[in-house]
Amino acid sequence: MSTAKRPTTKASTATKTASVTAKATATKKVAAAAKVTPKATPPKKSPPKKTTVVSSDAVQLLDYYREMLFIRRFEERAARAYTQALIGGYCHLNLGEEAAVVGLMSALRPTDYLFTNYREHGYAIARNIDPNAIMAELYGRVDGVSKGWGGSMHMFDMEHRLLGGYGIVGGQLPLATGAALAIDYRGGDDVVMCTMGEGTSNIGAFHESLNIAQLWKLPVVFVVINNFLGMGTKVELSSAEPEIYRRAAAYRMPSARVDGADPIEVAAAARIAVESARAGQPYLLEVTCHRLRGHSVVDPAKYRSASEVEELKLHDPVHNLAERLLNLGLTDADTLAALDEAMLARLDEIAAFAEASAHPDVNTLFDYTYATPVPNDSRRLPGQSLFDENGVAR
């Protein structure tokens, strides 16, 4: 509830004394900073300078690249399956967001929670969920992460603490705030990350959630993926403050903006945000990136001008990172080609797995209406009459 209280709550868990002290200090620092000036972090308008790569960073960069490339190939595969009508509903891809995804996810502990939106395949991958299960979900099969009940927009995995993709714009924000409340209530030191698009920052739930999170000092990081577009609407036409991180000022919440082109930059900014939240000071992190294709697989994005489309090519984070790795001499073209080859083969297997997985049995239709069984709930199929031959309601 209050900054002062969190460390006390935690101190009661006797075994955690050491980390508690560290956290208590951090809490005070962040809170103090937040007090002096409502905007704890100065605007970063110019793109961040490129970091010099030291050797551990080199390994890191290669790892990031591998992950980003896998997400890229996964999404392309999903797009293909969608156009083949193997995937239904809506299908939104992370193309262009790969560096942001891997950078953000690298800042979370496995025990931290993630709430996200309908554009979440990459996040599920980066949270180390079995890609077979992710693809199977897209196919609507029993081996899917949500057993085929969720589809592209609604991936969920309690074990990996992905607490849902959500399809209602902004719907995940109050939920994430509440999950952070539960952590705070119990005195754990997990953190909740909650991602959303920049267009989502205009909905009422954004305001209500950030206010509550800051009032109650909840361990949550709100992340705005600013890809400058919500469907076809440019950020300047949807947000009167198009630099979204500045909106944190309305809640005296610290915030920052980072260029989502570079996974290392993103990871660094995300770590600051996550550790702030862990210390009881919620945080708003804005990550800029570019949506390389349409809003969803079916959107031809005709509203983009030729020059915009041209410019997009400069913003492909996977391509750019490959270039960078080559320029830095950290890899060579053959290695990258082999990597790509291997991934494509892997994705063939994944797609085959998904396609081989069974369709949910119609007998399971009434399995998930209620967690606690209840008498008189309806199990009537559409073609059945309300009362059966014996006059019993179904």
Partner 1 sequence: MTLMSYRQALHDTLRSEMLRDENVMLMGEEIGVFEGSYKITAGLLAEFGEKRVRDTPIAEEGFTGAAIGAAMLGLRPVVELMTINFSLIAIDQIVNHAAKIYGMFGGQAKVPMVIRTPGGGGQQLGATHSQNIELYYAFVPGLKVVAPSTPADAKALMLAAIRDDDPVLFLENLALYNTKGEVPDHDEPAIIGKAKVTREGSHLTLIGYSRMAYVAKKIADQLADSDHLDIEVVDLCSLRPLDRETIINSVKKTNCAVVVEDDWLTYGIGAEVAATISDGAFDYLDAPVRRVAMAEVPMPYAKSLETAALPSEDDIINAIYQTLDAIGHRRSKTGPHD
Ligand X SMILES: Cc1ncc(C[n+]2csc(CCOP(=O)(O)OP(=O)(O)O)c2C)c(N)n1
Name beta bridge partners: 2. Answer: none
249 binds, options a copy of itself, Mg ion, partner 1, none, Cβ within 5 to 8 A by partner type: a copy of itself
- C-alpha 123/C-alpha 62 separation (Å) is 18
Output 41 or 195, the one with its CB closest to partner 1: 195
Asked if residue 103 binds Mg ion (CB under 5 A), the reply is no
For residues 220 and 194, is the Cβ–Cβ distance under 8 A?
Answer: yes
Output 170 or 263, the one with its CB closest to a copy of itself: 170
- C-alpha 75/C-alpha 21 separation (Å) is 43
Asked if residue 276 binds Mg ion (CB under 5 A), the reply is no
**Hey, which residues between 242 and 271 contact partner 1 (CB under 8 A)?**
none
For residues 64 and 268, is the Cβ–Cβ distance under 8 A?
Answer: no
List 131, 170, 260, 263, residue binding partner 1 (CB under 8 A):
170
Please give the DSSP secondary-structure letter assigned to residue 330: S
Closest CA to 224 of 202, 249, 208: 202
For residues 353 and 140, is the Cβ–Cβ distance under 8 A?
Answer: no
List 122, 148, 197, 317, residue binding Mg ion (CB under 5 A):
197
- Smallest separation, CB 377 to partner 1 (Å): 4
- C-alpha 159/C-alpha 127 separation (Å) is 10
**Hey, which residues between 231 and 260 contact a copy of itself (CB under 8 A)?**
237-241, 246-247, 249-253
For residues 191 and 278, is the Cβ–Cβ distance under 8 A?
Answer: yes
Per-residue exposure over 322-341, b if at least 16 CB sit within 10 Å of its own CB, e if not? bebbeeeebbeeeeeeebee
Letters for 167-186 (x = contact with ligand X by CB under 6 A, - = none) are: xxx-----------------
List 14, 18, 333, 374, residue binding partner 1 (CB under 8 A):
374
Of 81-89, 107-115, 177-185, 192-200, which part binds ligand X (CB under 6 A)?
A: 192-200
Asked if residue 227 binds ligand X (CB under 6 A), the reply is yes
CA distances from 30 to 10, 191, 194, 217 (A): 18, 16, 20, 11
Asked if residue 243 binds ligand X (CB under 6 A), the reply is no
Structure tokens at 373: 């069984």
Asked if residue 32 binds a copy of itself (CB under 8 A), the reply is no
Asked if residue 298 binds partner 1 (CB under 8 A), the reply is no
Name beta bridge partners: 225. Answer: 197, 287
List 230, 254, 260, 282, residue binding Mg ion (CB under 5 A):
230
For residues 121 and 75, is the Cβ–Cβ distance under 8 A?
Answer: yes
Asked if residue 133 binds partner 1 (CB under 8 A), the reply is no
- Smallest separation, CB 158 to partner 1 (Å): 5
**Hey, which residues between 346 and 365 contact ligand X (CB under 6 A)?**
none
Closest CA to 170 of 194, 146, 138: 194
- Smallest separation, CB 197 to ligand X (Å): 2
Of 6-14, 59-67, 207-215, 322-330, which part binds a copy of itself (CB under 8 A)?
A: 207-215
Asked if residue 200 binds ligand X (CB under 6 A), the reply is yes
Closest CA to 30 of 377, 279, 389: 279
Measured between its terminal Cα atoms, the distance across the chain in Å is 47
Binding site for ligand X (CB under 6 A): 119, 167-169, 196-200, 225, 227, 229-231, 295
User: Which residues of this protein are in contact with a copy of itself, per CB under 8 A?
Assistant: 38, 202-208, 210-211, 214-215, 237-241, 246-247, 249-253
